[in-house]
Structures are given as structure tokens and as C-alpha cells.
Structure 1
């Protein structure tokens, strides 16, 4: 196969969060298949092999020549997600690319020629220092874009101006208040991000109390919060544009607000969701990432035979989140699942989950219709005809995967974009249920839109679980499934010819060619 020569060089740098890296890998694959761009994908030493496996899911066997244009380069990393060691490693590697020197993957020892000088770079929305380093080294010679893989409405609350429901320039406000009070800017910023009872209004969402954005007691260390959010608004202003992994049909009001804001900024806003692997390798390579893949597939096939289509409940809180302060809520919920005789797969990938209690594991084994998995091939499960519902924390990747697979959701949100996704799917779109009685901490306070307040007891949780599950697998759930099918078609069409995501993607490719 002959392909056009390389004309441009795109660099990408997600941090060590799989929900951030995974859709960016798919975007890189689509850029490479356009034929004229080499892509350097910087990641941590711990993500190199996983990134390679995920990348393969996006290519057919006869597309290896395009695959070869993506170089996965592992960087030294210690400590937290935004460690100084990783930031320094990126800056050193960027300097090499900027002057035409080869870069080395510290995981494999492989060396990669610099290729053309980078003319575009996509940074993780929390990679503030690497963004500044690249701009300091290369100046306006490189176009820098922010990568936000979450719900767009939550982007406004985290990074946006006050007019769109955000906090604006946190650093400037924190320094002014620190000068006035004698506190440190970090202390002031931490206070700014403490949960309040203010009403937050964001495009496309009903008004919500500030504390509703944290329905679970899942606190982040203050130093991480400060490092992530103090420079956020200014980072957005430094960048030359933004990538949002949502779709216009999923968040029409929010996308309209984003485009209006970025028109004022005279910058492009690329809305490119959903970004999921497709083709003959997509499911086969995904199975290679889970040691229990074969057992899971067998379990799904057997469930289909014994319980029928759409009979299984899939449960996952992703790779990070877990009810660390109240893990008993999980066991109480699953007790109801087993009481109702529902087959289930429970994925517990978060390191915070630790080792599951022996008594619970024994109970599931005795039940005979449940499977416990530390890492699951999610697309395989969601696309299997046995799967009926997905209990999810509500992260954007999982939500879009479920929508594109036609599987309705039962939401159990923790923080970040999840609470807004839960409200959007259950209230705005009517294709999901949201669990309220699983809440803890600030989540036990009243909900603005309906005045409801979680009781916070095991009895209330199990009563709600029983009610929701019976509805989900009954007539009410069937109506939600019909609504979801329409949404599914609209979201999938975004990457077809004339679709909004395809249009924004092609506009970005055109920008690449014009900056060479």
C-alpha cells in the first residue's frame, strides 16, 4: 500500500488516567489514517503496553503502514498523576523534537527519529506545566490544544468563565485574596473549591447546588486539587483551541454555548465524540487486555442461553473510583441483585477496591449467576446481546460506550463529570435511572430540582435498588431503551459524512496541513 509522504507532526500527551488516554488513542489512529501526519504519543512507562494494545484495536491487518506512523514513547514517571518527574521528562523530550533529535522510550529502549518539527500538540486538560514548557520552547511555532475527555457541561464548571458556570481565573483571584488576607494562594484556592450551597447554572443542565457535584465522599488531596485547578483557566487561555470528547447530538445546548464562547475567543473548538475503536480488531484486541476475557465471554454466552437477551446487569465504576468511605453500599446493592435473580458481571478495576471480602466472593460463587472481574473488556460486554443494563459511575467514556451499544444505564456517580452525566441521562434525556440512596457525605443534602434527600441507610438503599431494578427490567425500562435507540443513532451519525464530529475532525486536519 502506498500512502502520501509525511507532511506534519502531531504530538499528544495525556496523563496517567485511562479515561483520558483511551479516546485520544483513537483520535491519533484516525489522524494517522488520514495519511500525511506522524504522531508522537507520549505516555508514562506504566501505560506503554496498554496504549499499544489499545492502538491495535483501531487498525485492520492491512493498515499497518498507517499504524507505523504512531510512535508510543514512555516517559519516566514517579509519584502522583501530575508529578514533577513526568513534567521534566516531557520537557526534555520536547526539546529534542524541537531541534530535530530522536526521542527514546524509557520502557522499551526504542528510539524514534524526530520527524518533521511538531506543528501541533494536544495536552491533557491537567497537564498545565508541560503546556507552558512547550510554548516556552517553541513559541507560536506550534499550535497547542487542550484535551477534555469529559462531559462538556462539566468542562464549563471546571475551566470556564463565571458567565458559563465556572470560577474564572482562579490563580488571579487566589493571589488577590492572599494579598488581602495574608493566606497563601493555595489556601485561598482550596477554600474556593470547598463544597458550597451556591446554585450553579450551566448550559444544558438544570440548576444544581454546588454540593450536588460531589454526591460521594471521595475527597482529593488538597495539593492535587490546587495543582490541577489553580492554573486551569489560564491554561485554557494559553492554548490555541480545545478538543471535547462529546457529541453535538448528546449535548446540543452545551455545544452551542461552547461554540459561541470560542467564537468570541477567535479559537477553534473541536467536538469529536464519540471516539471508540471499530472494525474487526476492536473486540479481538480488547479481549487481550483482560485475563478473564474468555471466561467473561463464556459467561455471557451461557447467560444468553439460560436467561435470554438483555437479561444481564453489568456493573463498573471505572478504573479509579470506588465508594471508599462506604463500601458496604456495593455489597448491599448486589445482595438485591442476587435476591432478584439477575445475572451480573461486577468489574472492580479501581486499586481502591482492594481485595474483595471473602464472605462476599463466596456468596457470589454460591449464587452461580454472577462473575467478578478486576479488569473487563467493556465493549465486548456492552455489545453482547445478553447485556441489558449498565450500572455505571457515569464517566463520559463509559456513558458514550453504553449509548453507542444501545445499553441503558443506572447511574451511581462520585464526582468530576459523573453527577452531571447522571442528571443529563436520567432527567434531560430519560434514558437512565440515577441511584440516590447510595450517596454519602455532601450527597446526603437536599437535591435542588426535586427537594429529595437521601436517607443514608442500608434499608433505603436496598428499597431503591429493588424499585429501580424491577423498573429497569420491566415496562418502564423498555420505554427508556426505545428512547436510547434514537439517541444512539444520532450520536453514531456524528462521525458519518456530514456529521458534526467528522466535520470538526476534518477542520483540524486542514489546520495541520496549513501549518506545515
Structure 2
């Protein structure tokens, strides 16, 4: 079959599954919505095979032609923590209208028209510079916002809208004033809270230290080479595409449009970005990505038969995060889960996760739990046996939980997780937050309640008993009862008159 489409969108993101999975889903949406568009997704080796499988979760039998207009091309092994800085040679090839060679398969792809637009992760500073230096203003560059909007505005927005502004400039000013090294000042300025109260429209106030309630080391190369430059990098893009959804944080999007609108730049909302294939196809393809897929399905079915609907607890901190400074709190929480005879599935996908042998032995003897290095999350959440989801509150997990109608028990670390947690617990009132699991700066006073967490293992156990009792009791039923309206609003974003559908169509029309 010969493809004669003329619109060509290129997309690339960092080495984070929470960034990559929705990007491949958006790519599928683009080729499904517009028969005149094709999409090239540039990925690192680590994500290539998984994203190829993930892409199939958005195509049914009727989408064969659309699927041919989406290709995933590997740019090679990541050369740093984020996988930034590899796009150059591939971008030159694509701009020349030539077919790129996949670094993973060795296959040379067909020549497609020159790109009309490129969507680049907010954190790929070098790739954004490279694209601009090579193509100037001839190709529109859109920033991929892979998380909750409030947090991105707070961390990387201009000061006039309540953001931190140009951190690189602030660091240089302090270096010139004090004579200290750039790296020393940067690490302090980015990592050390000042006790300031963060206030943005529509969001409960929080102390700045509450935005990092867990000790979780961000690699120094990210801290030094990325965070100081995001604000300035955002000033160079032509617009934004967000994975969040309007009904979750309307005031944040209003503020984002105000900020970018001052320079005539659009903010396109694309969430929720969930697979569009049939439930059966999406689930089968997702389970194939997990070594424990069959066992997990069996436990879900057995739990439903034995304990009934909404009786299982799903636990996951995503593909990166893990309480490395206090793993004993995870096992203490899990002890309480088993003490209360709650069936569970725990995913420990983070490369930093280490499960002690005694924990494995205990879970095996328990007989109602599974420890899996990678779990088919959407399949688990969609199963009627699943009652609650213990997660860090990242945008993807939160979106998937709401779409499945599963309330959350939140254990946030940093990034958009603490802010999403407050929205879930205090604004939308559909979940609980675990406070005693906090470490480091997180063990300071909480602004909205005045409570200071104790943070001991015994305090974790006591809180786990209380929260799990509430979650599987009457209080939990009240929280669950609020979910259908929020779920309906979320899914409505992609209906014919939904905000996200309208925004993505507007993006396609602009090409």
C-alpha cells in the first residue's frame, strides 16, 4: 500500500514510562483522527520493544490503514539519565525527507514528507535546542507536558503566574553575588525548601517542602543540566500539549492559557490518553508485557470468586519511584495488608526496588498476594475484584484509576504526585493520603492541617490499619460514590464535544 499523506508529526520523550506511554497513545489518536497525518515516534532502546507492544493497544481490526501511518524508530541507547541529546542525526534525516534507520532493528524506514511539527518532552533540553538550531522556525515545536499542570506551572512557570521563573538566571545571579560554584548553588536552590507557601488558583496552599514529602534522589545530571533550564526552554516553544484533563484542574489550565496566550501560543489538552482498542485486545496486549501476566489474571479471578467485587488492593509506585530511603515502611504496610487478610498485587518496577527474600517467603505463604516486577496496570484496575489502588499519584496512574472507577490511597514522592494527592484527597475527595510514610523534609508541618507526621515504622503500621479499615468500610464507600461523576467528566473529554477531542483536532488543523 502506498501512503500519500502530507502531514508529518515527530514526537520524542524522556526515559520515563509515564511520559512514553501516553505519547504513543496520542500518536495513535492522531493517525486515527486525521487520514492525512502520519507520526514518527523517536524512542530510546530501553522503551522500543515495550512501546511497539503498547501501540497495538490502540488499534483494532478497522484501524489497519491508520496503524501504517504510525512508526516507532529507535535512536539508540540512552546517553544519560533522561535519554536526551540523541535526536540530531535523525532530525536531519527526517528534514531531508529521507527514511531513518532504526538503531534497534536496523530497518530503514520509507521516506516520508518533511515534518510539520515536533512534540518534545518538557525535559529534553538538548533535543529542543538541536531541533531549533537545525530547523529554526520552519517547523513548529510543541512541549509535551507529561503530568499535572499545577505542578509544571509551579516548578517551571514564570514568576508572574506563581512559578519559580528562570532558575538558571537566579543561580547565576547568586554565583556572581557569593562567589560560590554554579553546581553548589544549583543543588541548593533546586533541592532545599525555604518554608514558602505555594499558592496557585484552585489549589489548596502547601508549604514548599510538601512538594517533596519523600527522600528520593534525583540524579545530579538531571538536577544540574535540566531543571535550571526548563523555564527558558519553554519560552522557545510554539505551544503545549498536556496529558492532563480539564475537569481535573480547570483553574490550572486557565492559568496556563493565560501565560502562553500572552505570546499567542496555544495550550492543547489531550488527556485522558487511554488505549482505544477493545477491552479484550488492550488487556491481552498489556498482559503480554508482564512475566506474571497469567498469574495476575488468575489471582484477580480467584479473588472475585472468593472475596467478591472491590476486595483486592493494587500497589504500585510506577516504573521509577521506590521508597529507597525507607523500604521498611513498604514492608510494614504490606504486613498490615496481610494481617487484615486483604488480597493484593504489588508491582515493583523501579530499578531501585529490592524485595527481601523474607518478604517473598511471607507473601508466598500468605497465598493471596503477588509481587511482580511489572504489572498490567490497566487490566488490574479494570477488573471487578480491584477495590483500591495504593500509588504515588502520578498523572498516568491517577487517570487510569479514575477511568476504572477505583479510588486511591496516595503515597507521593515528588514531581506532580504531592499536588495530585491534594487534589484527590482535599478537592475531589476520592482518596486518602498516607502521611506517616513521609521522610526527610516531608516530616515537617502540613499546611492545610497543621499536623506534623511522626514517621516511625510503628506510626506507619497504625496509619495503615486506620486507613485500610476506612477504605474498605463506610467512609471508603462515600469516597467511591464520588468517583462516577469524576469518571464521567474524564471520559467525556474525548466525546464528540469534549475539550480534549476539540483541542487535538485543533492541533491537527493547525499543521
Which TM-score tier does this pair reach, normalised by the shorter chain?
Answer: over 0.9
Residue aligned with 2:46, SS? coil
Corresponding position of 2:177: 180
Which segment drifts farther, 251-260 or 340-349? 251-260
Corresponding position of 2:414: 415
2-structure distance, mates of 1:78, 1:116: 27
Answering whether residue 442 of structure 2 is matched by residue 439 of structure 1, we say: no
Residue aligned with 1:122, SS? strand
Shift of 1:444: 0.6
Residue aligned with 1:351, SS? coil
| 1:99-498 equivalences in 2 (<5 Å) | 99-193=96-190, 194-280=192-278, 281-354=281-354, 356-498=355-497
2-structure distance, mates of 1:174, 1:358: 45
2-structure distance, mates of 1:392, 1:191: 29
Corresponding position of 1:15: 14
Shift of 1:316: 0.4
Residue aligned with 1:433, SS? strand
1-structure distance, mates of 2:324, 2:73: 34
Shift of 1:4: 7.9
Corresponding position of 1:27: 26
2-structure distance, mates of 1:439, 1:123: 33
Residue aligned with 1:216, SS? coil
1-structure distance, mates of 2:201, 2:149: 9
Residue aligned with 1:107, SS? coil
TM-score by length of 2: 0.97
Shift of 1:113: 2.8
Residue aligned with 2:73, SS? strand
1-structure distance, mates of 2:62, 2:250: 37
Shift of 1:182: 2.3
Which segment drifts farther, 287-296 or 50-59? 287-296
Shift of 1:165: 2.7
Residue aligned with 1:454, SS? coil
1-structure distance, mates of 2:307, 2:366: 14
Corresponding position of 1:57: 57
TM-score by length of 1: 0.96
CA contact (8 A) 2:45 2:78 kept: no
**Residue segments in structure 1 that go unaligned for 5+ positions in a row:** none
Residue aligned with 2:437, SS? coil
Residue aligned with 2:300, SS? helix
Shift of 1:179: 2.3
Shift of 1:81: 2.5
Question: Would you say how many aligned residue pairs link Structure 1 and Structure 2?
Answer: 507
Corresponding position of 1:42: 42
Shift of 1:186: 3.3
Give the alignment's Cα RMSD to 1 decimal.
1.4
**Residue segments in structure 2 that go unaligned for 5+ positions in a row:** none
